[in-house]
C-alpha cells in the first residue's frame, strides 16, 4: 500500500505543478495584453520572468511524468493521465511563448502613436485566459462538459479575430499610414487565437482521456462543418 500511496502523492504533485504552470501562463496572457492596452512597458519584464519559470516547470513536469512511467507499472487510467499530462505540458509552454510574442509586438507598437483604443483584443485575452484556466480544471476534474464548453468558446475567439481583422482592414484601406500598426495588431490577434487553439487542444485531450479513443478527429469534423 505504501507504493500506491507514494504513487498517488506523485500524481498529486504532478497535478499541482500543471496547475501552477497554467496559472503562470494565464498571468502572462493578462500582463502581455495589459502592457499593450495600457502602453506599460514595465510589464514586459514580468512576462519574461514568468516565461523562464514556465520553461523550468515544463522540464520538471516532463521528468516527473517519465519517472512515474518508469518506476511503476501504471494502470491504464493512470497511464493515459500521465501521457495527457505530458501533452498538456507542451501546450502550456507554447501558450507562454505566445504571450512573449505578444509583448514583442507591444514593444513595437507602444513606440508609435496609438492607432485606436483596444477593446476586442483585451476581450480575446480575457476569453483565452479563462479557456486556459478551465481546460486545466476540466483535466483535473475529468469534466467533459467543461471541456466541451471550451470548444464553443474557441469559436467566439475565432469570431473576434475575424472582427478585428475586418476592422483593421478598414483602417488600412482608409489611411495607409496605419498599415504597419494595423498589421502588428492583426498579429497580436493571431497570437491570441493560437492561445485559444492550445486551450482547445487541452480540452480535446481531456475528452479523449475521459471518453476513449477516436473522439478527437470526430470533434474536429463536427467543428469543421
Residues that bind a copy of itself (CB under 8 A): 55-56, 58-59, 63, 65-66, 69-70, 73, 76, 79-80, 83, 86-87, 90, 165, 169, 172-173, 176, 179-180, 183, 186, 190, 213-214, 216-217, 220
* Residue whose CB is less far from a copy of itself, 124 or 168: 168
Output the smallest distance, CB 40 to a copy of itself, in A. 23
Q: Which residues contact 210 (CB under 8 A, 6 or more apart)?
A: 142, 144, 147
- What H or E segment, with its residue span, contains residue 159? helix 144-174
Cell numbers describing residue 206:
481531456
CB of 61 to a copy of itself, least distance (A): 12
**Which residues fall within 8 angstroms of residue 43, CB to CB, at 6 or more apart?**
31, 32, 34, 35, 103
Nearer to a copy of itself, 115 or 126 (CB): 115
CA–CA dist 68, 79 (Å, integer): 9
We find the least distance from the C-beta atom of residue 38 to a copy of itself, in angstroms, to be 25
- Alpha-carbon distance of 214 to 203, in angstroms, equals 15
The whole-angstrom separation of Cα 169 and Cα 164 is 8
Q: Least distance from C-beta 129 to a copy of itself, angstroms?
A: 22
Which CB, 50 or 58, lies closer to a copy of itself?
A: 58
Amino acid at each position: 500500500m505504501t507504493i500506491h500511496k507514494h504513487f498517488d502523492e506523485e500524481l498529486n504533485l504532478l497535478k499541482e505543478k500543471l496547475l501552477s504552470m497554467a496559472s503562470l501562463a494565464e498571468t502572462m496572457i493578462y500582463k502581455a495584453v495589459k502592457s499593450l492596452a495600457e502602453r506599460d512597458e514595465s510589464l514586459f519584464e514580468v512576462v519574461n520572468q514568468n516565461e523562464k519559470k514556465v520553461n523550468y516547470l515544463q522540464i520538471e513536469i516532463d521528468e516527473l511524468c517519465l519517472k512515474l512511467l518508469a518506476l511503476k507499472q501504471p494502470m491504464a487510467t493512470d497511464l493515459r493521465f500521465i501521457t495527457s499530462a505530458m501533452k498538456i505540458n507542451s501546450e502550456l509552454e507554447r501558450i507562454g511563448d505566445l504571450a512573449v510574442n505578444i509583448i514583442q509586438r507591444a514593444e513595437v507598437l507602444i513606440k508609435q502613436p496609438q492607432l485606436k483604443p483596444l477593446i476586442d483584443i483585451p476581450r480575446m485575452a480575457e476569453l483565452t485566459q479563462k479557456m486556459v484556466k478551465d481546460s486545466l480544471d476540466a483535466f483535473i476534474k475529468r469534466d467533459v462538459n467543461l471541456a466541451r464548453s471550451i470548444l464553443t468558446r474557441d469559436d467566439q475567439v475565432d469570431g473576434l479575430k475575424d472582427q478585428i481583422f475586418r476592422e483593421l482592414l478598414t483602417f488600412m484601406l482608409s489611411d495607409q499610414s496605419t498599415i504597419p500598426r494595423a498589421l502588428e495588431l492583426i498579429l497580436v490577434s493571431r497570437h491570441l487565437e493560437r492561445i485559444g487553439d492550445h486551450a482547445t487542444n487541452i480540452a480535446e485531450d481531456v475528452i479523449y482521456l475521459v471518453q476513449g479513443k477516436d473522439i478527437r478527429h470526430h470533434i474536429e469534423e463536427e467543428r469543421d462543418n
